[in-house]
Structure 1
Amino acid sequence: MRSFNTRQVFRLIHLFIGLTSGLIVFIEAVTGAIWVFNEEISSLLKEDITVEMKDAPKLSPTEAVAFAKNELPNRAVHGILYSNEAKPIEVIFYEAEPEFYYSIYLDPYSGKVIDRKNHKDSFFSFVLDGHLHLWLPPKIGTPIVSYGTLLFLFSIITGIVLWWPKNRKGRRQRLKLDWKPSTRWRRKNFDLHTVLGFYVSALALVFAITGLVMALNWFYVLFYSSIGGDKETAFIIPKNTSEKIPSENQLKPIDQLPDFLEKQYPTAKDYEIHFPYADSVSIYVEVSYQDGIYSDADYLFFDQYTLEDVSTPSVYGKYQDASFQDHLIRMNYDIHVGAILGLPTKVLAFLTSLLIATLPITGLVIYLGRKKKQKQRISTY
């Protein structure tokens, strides 16, 4: 009976994982590379909508929803986005199943509809659907992508073990593409897989781990607790602190929020107000400060009857109250898409994703070449 040493076991594991998850990794890497610049490309393809700023009160959330509901009367409102810049109010409609994601853009003062957008009817929506679900129904595609990414994580680890040579001389040889005119294409393919694979392995680990934090709740909880996090990992909208209900002729407390937020957060880019989904829960507001960056956002909660601040036990609260562990979790998406330090890290994420996409291809070529050699050896006996 044939015995296997440790390296051979790792090679078999690496091979099995590569054959199992190779196509998933290729699709994830290519769609991920495209998604990196989705905001920049989208803004180039469509002219930014602006409005004339006036010294007049803007529409309240209740008024904005009423105007938008004239366009989509039977759809659920997710939130109302106000901007501190010369931009329209965006009323966002969202339903999970079947997924419906649409925005109505209103003049902030008159309520006139300026524009409409079906977020599901775009090239980048198609790309994101592939990245999240492989263009399959979410119940089928999501677990395939999630556990395919987990396999990719083990593939990176086993690949590093296989790459690591026994001596320093061999290590130097595997750090560069040392090709000569006589080097055969199979050797070049092997070097592309091993050398480039090693150089992208660190960032590939980052992409895999940040992807798994978003994809698998048990991995998210395990990762957060392993770095010393002690808050609730779920996004929690807390309950009200009061039970007082205002009279019908009184201005609704939620309609006072736009003016309050504009004064309290003058440096904010925009703030998204969400109507409470029940009488017992607070109003949730997300305050953003930068385009394409979400890690420094403030997640605020207000009693829907008194507008008193309500604290949340979740990681997602005020930015100033977040611990190092909370900051790391909140940076997860920005790190995953390369947005964390702006354009330089986006370019790095784009190039790394393209290189990752080559690994399943070069790995498959290596496997098929070895299978062919084995058949040739058997045929010579």
Structure 2
Amino acid sequence: MAARWGHTIKAVLFQVHSMVGLVLALLVSLIALTGAIMSFEDEIVDHLNAGIMQVTPHQAPALMPDDLIARLKAAQDVGKVSAVTLSSDPAAAVHVRFARDEHGGRPTSLYVDPYDARVLGSPRGETFFATVRQLHRWLLVPGDGKGWGRPITGTIALGLIIMLVSGLVLRWPRRTSSVKMWLKPNFGLGGRGLHQSLHTVIGTWVLPVYLMMTLTGLWFSFEWYRDGVTWLLARPHVTAAKMPAKSPRGRAEPASQIGFDRAWMTFQREEGDRFSRALLTLPAGQGTAIRIRSWGKASLLETTRDEFRIDAVTGQLVSAERYADKTFGETIIAAIYDIHRGAILGWPGKLVFMAAAALMPLFSVTGILLYLSRRKLRRAAQPPLGRLVPGE
């Protein structure tokens, strides 16, 4: 009885695995390939733009952010500035980012000389990677993160989890002695046998990576998932701290009327020379609290950063979230993005995750070929209608 139930469960899982795989094959491959392309985005962009990211240090101090932006706007027609990246390195250029225009487009960012606001150039590769990122996260669906693209990619991730779990159950070895066969592909086979071996054996090897990608990818797609992970791993006050900070004076001035200088001076007093670079971002709507993300000089990951909110009008520190003060669970939450792309393990991890993502089309193609071959075998096993006699 138990064996029959086990056979029935596996038959159902096999059908679920096949149907979900057929429906999602193309989209899963597209998302995985775009993720693979972005694996070493930072290194590629830095290499392409090495000539405009550095300047000759001057004896005079660098311009304050508001003075730099004013000179930049006076020299040429640029859009509304939304963020600037400043560095403690006197030879580093300032990276200026712009808000979306009335048509929803975002102007290309600029690298600017911190001493005289001279434009050094626009970063090469930025537009390409921005498009790849939109395709990866939202499938280029209008609305970006606020449209239907985000829940669609999240649903695809849930479908991939179903395929991974069902595939693992279907493959689970009945005998310990079969583990070697379970993990070693047979390249001596041909046709359907080779497709089966590649699909199942290589799929077993990359399954942990795919699970890591999907479980962390859901963080960026669903609010309920993000809230659940935060409740599970973080201290109770962290969720409240994630809410946008309001100005302590209750003022609601448009972001276009506030500047960076007061917040920048407060940040420098707080951090001194401990930071290597800092990203200052103006509030998107009403409010005066500027968000500042800073990375220490020994920081190698995107997630090992401190985050401050400082009132741009008064210069008062609203909140400070330091990476060193996080609990173990909170460091996991902070590292979601780096876990998602394998960067938490350094460049070897990124390389492994990139290779696994690039292999996704292999499973889509072999899965479709196996489905078509099964249909062909079933048709061949059925007797021709003309040869049937009554009762058959």
Question: Normalization by structure 1: what TM-score?
Answer: 0.86
Amino acid at match of 1:83: S
Q: Is the 8 A contact 1:31 1:128 kept in 2?
A: yes
Runs (5+) with no aligned partner, structure 2: 253-257, 388-392
Q: Is the 8 A contact 1:239 1:280 kept in 2?
A: yes
Counterparts of 1:254-333 in structure 2, within 5 Å, are 254-258=260-264, 261-262=267-268, 264-276=271-283, 280-289=287-296, 293-311=301-319, 317-333=321-337
The aligned counterpart of 1:115 is: 121
The aligned counterpart of 1:166 is: 174
Counterparts of 1:174-185 in structure 2, within 5 Å, are 174-180=182-188, 183-185=189-191
Amino acid at match of 2:223: N
Tell me the distance in 1 between the aligned counterparts of 2:12 and 2:232: 28
Alignment of 1:60 with 2:68, yes or no, is no
Alignment of 1:51 with 2:55, yes or no, is yes
| CA deviations over 1:319-338 (Å, ceiling 9, x no partner) | 12322222111101111122
What displacement does 1:369 show? 0.7
Tell me the distance in 1 between the aligned counterparts of 2:263 and 2:319: 17
Q: Residues 233 and 199 (structure 1 numbering): CA distance in 2 closer, same or farther, change over 3 Å?
A: farther
Amino acid at match of 1:61: P
The aligned counterpart of 1:248 is: none
Equivalent position to 1:151, from 155, 159, 181: 159
Alignment of 1:208 with 2:221, yes or no, is no
The aligned counterpart of 1:238 is: 245
Tell me the distance in 1 between the aligned counterparts of 2:125 and 2:284: 23
Q: Point out the more displaced range, 184-193 or 283-292.
A: 283-292
Q: Point out the more displaced range, 36-45 or 185-194.
A: 36-45
| CA deviations over 1:108-163 (Å, ceiling 9, x no partner) | 122222223487633x2332232123344343543332211111111111111111
Q: Point out the more displaced range, 257-266 or 351-360.
A: 257-266
What displacement does 1:54 show? 2.0
The aligned counterpart of 1:371 is: 375
What displacement does 1:64 show? 2.2
Q: Is the 8 A contact 1:214 1:220 kept in 2?
A: yes
The aligned counterpart of 1:337 is: 341
What displacement does 1:59 show? 1.7
User: How many residue pairs align between the two structures?
Assistant: 366
Deviation >6 Å, runs of 4+? none
What displacement does 1:198 show? 0.9
Amino acid at match of 1:350: M
3-state SS in 2 of match to 1:310:
strand
Tell me the distance in 2 between the aligned counterparts of 1:244 and 1:169: 71
Alignment of 1:347 with 2:351, yes or no, is yes
Tell me the distance in 1 between the aligned counterparts of 2:285 and 2:294: 22
Tell me the distance in 2 between the aligned counterparts of 1:364 and 1:172: 26
Q: Is the 8 A contact 2:263 2:290 kept in 1?
A: no
Amino acid at match of 1:287: S
Amino acid at match of 1:16: M
Identity %: 26
Q: Point out the more displaced range, 350-359 or 156-165.
A: 350-359
Tell me the distance in 1 between the aligned counterparts of 2:116 and 2:380: 78
Q: Is the 8 A contact 1:101 1:119 kept in 2?
A: no
What displacement does 1:280 show? 4.5
Amino acid at match of 1:45: L
RMSD value, Cα: 2.9
Runs (5+) with no aligned partner, structure 1: 246-251
What displacement does 1:186 show? 1.2
Q: Residues 148 and 101 (structure 1 numbering): CA distance in 2 closer, same or farther, change over 3 Å?
A: farther
Q: Point out the more displaced range, 361-370 or 231-240.
A: 231-240
3-state SS in 2 of match to 1:81:
strand
| CA deviations over 1:229-252 (Å, ceiling 9, x no partner) | 53218843312334699xxxxxx9
Tell me the distance in 2 between the aligned counterparts of 1:64 and 1:14: 57
The aligned counterpart of 2:255 is: none
The aligned counterpart of 2:31 is: 28
The aligned counterpart of 2:8 is: 5
Q: Residues 372 and 319 (structure 1 numbering): CA distance in 2 closer, same or farther, change over 3 Å?
A: same
| CA deviations over 1:227-274 (Å, ceiling 9, x no partner) | 4553218843312334699xxxxxx99424545545624242211223
3-state SS in 2 of match to 1:121:
helix
Q: Residues 205 and 136 (structure 1 numbering): CA distance in 2 closer, same or farther, change over 3 Å?
A: same
Amino acid at match of 1:241: P
